[in-house]
Structure 1
Amino acid sequence: MKRNKLMILLGAGMLLVSSCGKEFLQKLPQGQLSEPQVGNKDGVEGALVGAYSILNGNVSGTWGNYSSAPSQWLFGEVASDNAHKGSFLDDQSPMNMIEAYNVISTNDNLSQMWQVYFEGVMRCNNTLRLLANDQASTKEITAERALQIQAECKMLRAHYYFMLWRVFRNVPIITEDISTEDAQTVKNDKDVLPLIEEDLKFAVANLPATKINNEFGRMDKNAAKAYLGKLYLYQKKYGDALGLFKEVMAGKDIVGMPFWNNFDVTTENGPEVVMVSKHAINSNGSADNANVGDMLGGLYGSSPVGCCGFYQPTIDLVNAYKVDAKGLPLLDDSYRTNPYLSDKGVAANATYTLNVKLRFDPRLDYTVGRRGVEYLDYGIMPGNGWIRDANYAGPFVGIKTMIPRSQFPTQAAPGENYLTGLDVNIIRLADVWLMAAECEVELGNLAGAMKYVNDIRKRAANLEPKKTATGVNAADYDVKPYTSFPSPDYARKAVRFERRLELAMEGHRFYDLVRWGIAKQTIEAYSAFEGQHLSSYLNLKFDPADEYYPIPQAEIDRSNGALTQKK
């Protein structure tokens, strides 16, 4: 169910604390809360958990939370050269506008993103008000805990505003000092980045070094440092960003952290977690707290999942995993020469032989499902049998959002295997490593940048090869470290390419292209290639105005003129 208002009343969607782990986000039935519930210590803590709950992009229900997903698969990947909307042309057709860069202000995906993340902002503000009332009167909450709650709220608010800023840019600034009624008339004529920076600095100063109550979903000092560094990176403040990234990375060995642990429910609470959206199937089987945002990526047809056929990797992304004779990426885009197309154009009942001699980075088969290659514990991926319309969106499927069949009984909603308890990393350590590498390039330390990139590549080399039905490796897998970054331009390309390979299908790509200033050239070159093989993606045109999206028209109408369209 979608909200029809931007602002929420105090207590709307309020949650109370349950047990630790994922279940600390378990929702109770929503309804009116009594004054004691919101006016005491438990009420403040419950309001804080309510603010956390928006991390999964969901206010209520399961269907319809696609554009607000913490993975940002729609705005961050489908809008880039990494992924197609998938399914078939007429399914969720407003998403086609995002993929084709012709979005209008009445697109329902914009409204969903706006409403959910502003509800997150308002829940943070409401919690801060409740906390202030407690500290001004009964002081049930200790001064130490009060500072932590403030820091948790402010970091959450910074995150919600950062997500809104990346998509819309021009958003109204609403803090706890503005009443719910006045919030509806706040103009969107000020830059929100200073508030985000202020909130993150407060979080860095006042969050503990370890997770509160050992709950992995909680904010901590490292998460705040990484996020503040990310904000500085977007602003090209490379020195400030690098210092924070180094503090987050200190004493950690990314090479020894298994890549796949980030995408396995049984190992997701590992050392690579920096900031995460926690998900869980509730004890009663409900999925409000599950990974509802990624549900459309569930495999279609004869697959064990049975729905829904969206979010398919592009042909371009798959070919980007090719390596040369030295085990290095093809940074000159020659990976598009003689492209690998899997079984595109091959009838489902026709004989298909996988070419196992192709040289690929092994991360390909931990990011993409392709015909003839084992897929989790589902067996060998059969091709079109798991795809709705391969002629429309291609022959590939995603992996990172799926869980093994063996985990369905405990980690999927009953009868809905596309609703899972798999967490979504908002920031993971490899992301920090590569952001640090980017800073080193821009600060002139090419050796330092190469070291960070090679750490990620050395870890990738540890991936166990994927197999075919006959038990042989599904490709000539190879990934080797760089031996030199001969120039800043080469180093810059290497770092950017590595971000694509490592973080593909995790919601970063479009935003990276925009902040690098190369979205137009990258997307139009991709379109020229992809369109040769899938006609729906030929002749895409990207303009500077497409770097962010129009404010939903319904919100402008509702504001009685306070909000204005900037594009």
Structure 2
Amino acid sequence: MKKINYIIFAICMITAAGCSKSFLEKNAQAELIPEQLTTQKGVEALLTGAYGLLNGNLNGTWGNYGAAPSQWLLGEAISDNAHKGSSDGDQPNMTALEIHEANSNNDNLENLWVRCFEGIVRCNNTLKYLALVQASDKSFPADRAAEIAGEARLLRAHYNFYLVRVFKNVPLITETTTESAVDNMKDIYPAIVEDLKFAVANLKPTSPKGEIGRVNQIAAKAYLGKVYLYQKKYLDALPLFNDVIAARPTIESLPFTNNFDVTKENGPEAIFSVQHSVGTDGTGGENGNVGDMLNFPYGSTPISCCGFFQPSFDLTNAFKVTPDGLPFLDGNYRLKPYISDYGMTDAEKLSYVLDRTIEFDPRVDYTMGRRGVEYLDWGIMPGDAWIRGVTIGGPFVAIKNVIKASEIAGNTGPGNPNVTGLNVNIIRLADVYLMAAECEVEAGSLPLAMNLVNKVRARAALLPKKQAVGGNAAVYKVNPYLSFPDQVYGRNAVRFERRMELAMEGHRFYDLVRWGIAKKTMTDYFAFEGTYLKFLTKAVMEDKDEYFPIPQSQIDRSKGILKQNPGY
């Protein structure tokens, strides 16, 4: 079985975003002309190019952070889960996002906008040339043509969904668009839904062409359910989630760690994953996970770049559990907070001893690195020696996006060990379980919701205990809920479980916004986290900050047809 090799094509797009007429009169070198594309092979190549934007990269490796498929910046670092990290002066536009002071010239927002629309244009061209080939070549297999259209429309829905979550007011560009610019004040969710419905109807449960990495009907159903969930259409979403759950082994049988292991990718839990490849393109890793290339521990480490993306104090403490092995749904995890060696003098740090008596959900040490605890096969996490700016990012480091030291040689880009081949899960099975549980809560089916949550928790209980000097690194405990006494309790339990299970995977801020609790959650968070990281004391989240400003460069290019989001 093989992954798709992502090839980035330089193709003249004959669309609203396309080339001038004079340019079309010449056959430029290294470009494909329409005659070459109006073939079955040409359409397949266009579709491969549409997949190519999933890693958020147009060229090179640096600078793709806003468009990272992991959404570590716009989904996590601006939430209560994580910090930009690194040092004070590095990537100041990221800091502006973290403290909710972004403006329309923020390069990370421009990055996401440009990459996603490039992906949309590639999907549109796939559909356009597919129609031309079908009209002229009657030998084109009808079933493959339907699959291609399904793949392209699911990918287009994905790019549009990434845009609408961040900007809300997004222009809809399809294969039939002829205008040079399109108004962005119409709701594009109906179009996203239609694309996903088409994909469900025209894809099979197995991967097209038998190639791992291509989207299939299971991915389409999960994605359609997720979009319905964002629209609060719980009764529409639930049957789709149930179909996905039924199509895969039970979650308890699938190791949690396989989701973050470069040697165990594309297993049964992977519903829709961005495929990353390194060492095969001769470019130093352009097809790899370039979006996460900054997000490794700093200092003398196997991969020493660049100290970004650090878990928050708040997230760390949220993993503490009650004596019954349940989360502190009331927020009391912030009482007597665990802060590792933060704030100690240099002399005190020399004699620091890990407190191994804290009762923690075991997922804490598979989500972050803590001083004194084993970290993959890198050794015991030493604290400040792996952190670039403790007063900017705190004492913890990310782990889910990091690969083992023993796997670096064969799974990193030539000359770029911080560009790995680790895939990014856009949707994985545990996510589907918890989205289904959310639907059950909103439908009033509390026992069914609790059962789904408890299955995820049962899998967490199987995690091997992380070690420290002296034995287990904590008193690990994660027990099932015995009841959801009412809907409010059940809703809070499901939401808390999403945070624990999916932390640092790009979901958190978007979840807070769709639940309508972003402003309150972030206000409470800034008050708590600012106790330790003083730069957060000036952070304020306003209502407008649920969405971000349209890049000013795009408004200028549209000659005013694009309208700025309210408040910016």
CA distance in 1, matches of 2:9, 2:304: 29
The aligned counterpart of 2:334 is: 336
Give yes or no for the alignment of 1:61 onto 2:57. no
Aligned residue in 2 for 1:228: 224
**Following the alignment from structure 1 to structure 2, what is the Cα–Cα distance between the partners of residues 461 and 237?**
32
Contact 1:23 1:282 in 2 (8 A): no
Partner of 1:145: 144
Q: How far apart, in 1, do the equivalents of 2:123 and 2:215 lie? A: 13
Partner residue in 1 for 2:25: none
Task: State the partner residue of 1:404.
Answer: 404
What residue identity is the alignment partner of 1:89? Answer: D
Q: Distance in 2 between matches of 1:369 and 1:189?
A: 43
Asked if structure 2 preserves the Cα contact closer than 8 Å seen for 1:27 and 1:289, the reply is no
| Secondary structure at the counterpart of residue 22 of structure 1 | coil
Instruction: Report if aligned partners of 1:303, 1:385 keep a CA contact under 8 Å in 2.
Output: no
Matching of residue 263 in structure 1 with residue 267 in structure 2: no
Helix, strand or coil: the match of 1:21? Answer: coil
C-alpha distance after superposition, 1:361-384 (max 9, x if no partner) = 000000000100010110000101
Unaligned stretches of 5+ residues in structure 1? 1-19
- How far apart in 2 are the matches of 1:109 and 1:66? 7
Q: Which residue of 2 aligns with 1:21?
A: 2
Quick one: structure 1 residues 445 and 365, their matched pair in 2 at CA, closer, same or farther if it must change by over 3 Å? same
CA contact (8 A) 1:402 1:418 kept: no
Instruction: Report deviation, 1:351.
Output: 1.7
TM-fit CA distance, 1:97: 1.1
Compared with structure 1, are the counterparts of its residues 406 and 27 closer, same or farther at alpha carbon in structure 2 (3 Å cutoff)?
farther
Equivalent pair of 2:60/2:286 in contact (CA under 8 Å): yes
1:51 counterpart = 2:50: yes
Gap regions ≥5 residues in structure 2 = 12-29
Partner of 2:14: none
Contact kept in structure 2, 1:41 and 1:140, CA below 8 Å: no
Corresponding residue number in structure 2 for 1:277: 274
Aligned counterparts of 1:245 and 1:339: Cα–Cα separation in 2: 37
CA contact (8 A) 2:383 2:395 kept: yes
CA displacement at 1:226 relative to structure 2: 0.6
User: Which residue among 243, 246, 257 is the counterpart of 2:242?
Assistant: 246
Matches within 5 A, 1:326-405: 326-347=324-345, 350-405=350-405
- 1:217·1:277 contact (CA, 8 Å) conserved in 2? yes
CA distance in 2, matches of 1:527, 1:136: 59
- 1:116-138 deviation per Cα after TM superposition (whole angstroms, max 9, x unaligned): 00001000001111101101112
Structure 2 residue 297 is the aligned partner of structure 1 residue 299: yes
Distance 1:70 1:418 in 2: 16
In 2, distance between residues paired with 1:189 and 1:537? 33
- 2:206 matches 1:210: yes
State whether residues 4 and 212 of structure 2, in contact with CA within 8 Å, keep that contact through their aligned partners in structure 1.
no
> Which one-letter code corresponds to 1:435 in the other structure?
M
Q: Any residues of structure 2 matched to 1:185-196 within 5 Å, and which?
A: 185-196=181-192
RMSD: 1.4
Aligned residue number for residue 171 of structure 1: 170
Q: Aligned equivalents of 1:512 and 1:238: distance in 2?
A: 15
* 1:288 matches 2:286: yes
Q: Aligned letter for 2:85?
A: G
SS in 2 for 1:280: coil
* 8 Å Cα contact 1:299-1:305 kept in structure 2: yes
Aligned AA (2:486): S
Which has the higher mean CA deviation after the structures are superposed, 125-134 or 342-351? 342-351
Note the 1:26-175 alignment, pairs <5 A: 26=7, 31-175=30-174
Taking the aligned partners of 1:468 and 1:37, their CA distance within structure 2 comes to 60
- 1:376-426 alpha-carbon deviations (Å, 9 max, x no partner): 110000101110011221000000000001111110123422110000000
Distance (Å, rounded) in 2 between the aligned partners of 1:285 and 1:411: 14
For residues 309-320 of structure 1, the aligned pairs below 5 Å read: 309-320=307-318
Letter in 1 for 2:309: Y
Q: Which deviates more, 321-330 or 170-179?
A: 170-179
Stretch of structure 1 that moved more, 294-303 or 63-72: 294-303
Residue in 2 aligned with 1:8? none
Corresponding residue for 1:15? none
Shift of 1:22: 2.8
**Alpha-carbon distance between aligned partners in 1 of 2:403 and 2:565, rounded to the nearest angstrom:** 41
Structure 1 residue 526 and structure 2 residue 525: aligned?
A: yes
One-letter code aligned to 1:288: E
3-state SS in 2 of match to 1:312: strand
Q: SS state of the match for residue 24, structure 1? A: coil
- One-letter amino acid of the structure 2 residue matched with residue 25 of structure 1: Y
Amino acid at match of 2:343: G
> In the alignment, what sits opposite 2:22?
none
Determine the structure 2 residue equivalent to 1:486: 485
Letter in 2 for 1:233: L
Q: Deviations over 1:89-128 (max 9, x none)?
A: 1100001111111111111111101000000100000111
Residues of 2 paired with 1:68 and 1:207: CA distance? 27
Structure 2: distance between partners of 1:404 and 1:221: 33
The one-letter code of the counterpart of 1:265 is: V
Q: Contact 1:40/1:140 (CA < 8 Å) preserved in 2?
A: no
Q: Provide the rounded CA distance (Å) in 1 between the counterparts of 2:95 and 2:284.
A: 30
User: Is the CA contact 1:134–1:140 (under 8 Å) kept in the aligned structure 2?
Assistant: no
Amino acid of the structure 2 residue aligned with 1:517: G
1:273-313 deviation per Cα after TM superposition (whole angstroms, max 9, x unaligned): 10010001032363011000011102211111111000000
Which 4+ residue blocks in structure 1 deviate beyond 4 angstroms?
26-30
Instruction: Give the letter aligned to residue 212 of structure 2.
Output: F
* 1:456-486 Cα shifts (integer Å, max 9, x gaps): 000000000111144x110010100000111
In 2, Cα distance between equivalents of 1:415 and 1:320: 38
1:29 deviation in Å? Answer: 8.6
Structure 1 contact 277–424 (Cα < 8 Å) conserved: yes
User: Could you state the TM-score of these two structures normalised by the residue count of structure 2?
Assistant: 0.94
**Which deviates the most, 536-545 or 452-461?**
536-545
Q: Deviations over 1:206-262 (max 9, x none)?
A: 001101233231111111011111111111111111111001101530011000000
Describe the SS at the equivalent of 1:425.
strand
Q: What amino acid does structure 2 have at the position aligned with 1:225?
A: K
Asked if the contact 2:298–2:307 (Cα under 8 Å) also holds between the matched residues in 1, the reply is: yes
Could you give the per-residue CA deviations for residues 296-353 of structure 1, whole angstroms, max 9, x where no partner exists?
A: 1022111111110000000000000001111100111100001000111235661210
Is 1:441 the counterpart of 2:441? The answer is yes
Distance 2:499 2:450 in 1: 16
One-letter identity of the residue aligned with 1:105: S
SS of corresponding position for 2:297: coil
- Asked whether the equivalents of residues 26 and 282 of structure 1 are also in contact (C-alpha less than 8 Å), the reply is no
Q: CA deviation at 1:25?
A: 1.9
* Equivalent position SS for 2:84: strand
Are the aligned partners of 1:71 and 1:293 in contact in 2 as well (CA < 8 Å)?
yes
Q: Name the amino acid aligned to 1:266.
A: T
How far does the alpha carbon of each residue in 1:64-108 deviate from its partner, in whole angstroms, 9 at most, with x for none?
Answer: 000000011111001100000000111000011111111111111
Counterpart CA distance in 2 for 1:105 and 1:140 is 49
CA distance in structure 2 between the partners assigned to 1:28 and 1:405 by the alignment = 33
1:307 & 1:228 partners in 2: Cα distance?
36
Aligned equivalents of 1:336, 1:504: Cα separation in 2: 17
SS at match of 1:236: coil
- SS for the counterpart of 1:104 is coil
Alpha-carbon distance in structure 1 between the residues aligned to 2:559 and 2:533: 44
Aligned length: 544
